[in-house]
Chains A and B, each alone.
Chain A
Amino acid sequence: MARSYISIEGIARRFPAPEGGRTTIFEDLWFAMERGEFVCVIGHSGCGKTTVLNILAGLDETSEGAVIIDGKAIEGPSLDRAVIFQSHGLLPWRTVLGNVSYAVSSKWRDWPKARVEEHARKAIATVGLTGAEMKKPAQLSGGMKQRVGIARALSIEPKIMLMDEPFSALDALTRGTLQDEVRGICRNTGQTVFMITHDVDEAIYLADKIVLMTNGPDARIAEIVANPLPADRSRNEVHKHPAYYPVRNHIIDFLVARSRSFTEELAQPGRVWNRRAPPIVTPGAPDAAPPLVRAV
Chain B
Amino acid sequence: MTRSIGARAFVLSLVILAIFLAAWHVAVGSGGGGGGQVVDPEYAKLVGAAAATGGQTPMPGPIDVGKAIWKHLSDPFYVRGTNDMGIGIQLAYSLVRVLIGFGIAVAVAVPLGFLIGMSPLIYRALDPFIQVMKPISPLAWMPLALYTIKDSSLSSIFVIFICSLWPMLINTAFGVASVRKDWLNVARTLEVGPVRKAFTVILPAAAPTILTGMRISVGIAWLVIVAAEMLVGGTGIGYFVWNQWNNLSLTDIITAILLIGLVGMVLDQILARLTRLVTYPE
Contact = CB atoms under 8 A, between A and B. Distances in A.
A77 B182 contact: no
A76 B280 CA distance: 30
Contacts of A285: none
A93 B191 contact: no
A92 B282 contact: yes
B270 interface: no
B191 A78 contact: yes
Given A89-B182, A89-B183, A102-B200, A59 B281 contact: no
A210 interface: no
Interface in A92-107: 92-93, 102-103, 106-107
Contacts, number: 54
A49 interface: no
Given A87-B182, A89-B182, A93-B204, A77 B188 contact: yes
B189 A77 contact: yes
Nearest to B207: A93
A89 B190 contact: no
Contacts of A252: none
Contact of A59 (B189, B200, B201, B278): B189
A103 B188 CA distance: 11
A102 B281 contact: no
B218 to A, nearest CB: 23
Q: Which of B189, B200, B278 is the most central at the interface, judged by chain A CB atoms within 10 Å of its CB? A: B189
A66 to B, nearest CB: 19
B185 interface: yes
B189 A81 contact: yes
Instruction: Give the interface size bracket for B toward A.
Output: 10 to 19
A130 to B, nearest CB: 23
A93 B280 contact: yes
A91 B188 CA distance: 13
B178 to A, nearest CB: 14
A100 to B, nearest CB: 11
Nearest to A89: B182
Contacts of B17: none
A106 B192 contact: yes
B15 interface: no
Nearest to A107: B190
Contacts of B108: none
A136 B281 contact: yes
A83 B191 contact: no
A59 B188 contact: yes
Nearest to B201: A91
A281 B278 CA distance: 54
A79 interface: yes
Q: Which of A82, A106, A138 is the most central at the interface, judged by chain B CB atoms within 10 Å of its CB? A: A106
B23 to A, nearest CB: 48
Contacts of A85: 182, 185-186
A136 B200 contact: no
Nearest to A93: B280
Contacts of A93: 204-205, 278, 280
B189 A58 contact: yes
B189 A83 contact: yes
B200 to A, nearest CB: 7
Interface string A42-86: 000000000000000111000000000000000011110111010
A77 B192 CA distance: 10
Contacts of A106: 190-192
Contacts of B182: 85, 87, 89
Contacts of A78: 189, 191
B281 A92 contact: yes
A106 B200 CA distance: 11
A229 B150 CA distance: 86
A296 to B, nearest CB: 42
B280 A79 contact: no
Interface in B169-192: 182-183, 185-186, 188-192
A57 B183 contact: no
A156 interface: yes
B186 A91 contact: yes
Contacts of A82: 189
Contacts of B183: 89, 91
B84 to A, nearest CB: 51
Nearest to B196: A106
Q: Which of A82, A89, A107 is the most central at the interface, judged by chain B CB atoms within 10 Å of its CB? A: A89
A83 B185 contact: yes
B185 to A, nearest CB: 6
Given A85-B185, A89-B182, A102-B200, A79 B281 contact: no
Given A57-B189, A77-B191, A107-B190, 14 more contacts: A59-B185, A59-B188, A78-B189, A83-B185, A83-B186, A85-B182, A89-B183, A91-B201, A92-B281, A92-B282, A93-B280, A102-B190, A103-B190, A136-B281
3 interchain residue pairs of minimum CB distance: A138-B281, A106-B190, A93-B280
15 contacts: A58-B188, A58-B189, A76-B188, A77-B188, A77-B190, A79-B190, A85-B182, A85-B186, A87-B182, A89-B182, A92-B281, A93-B204, A102-B200, A106-B190, A156-B190
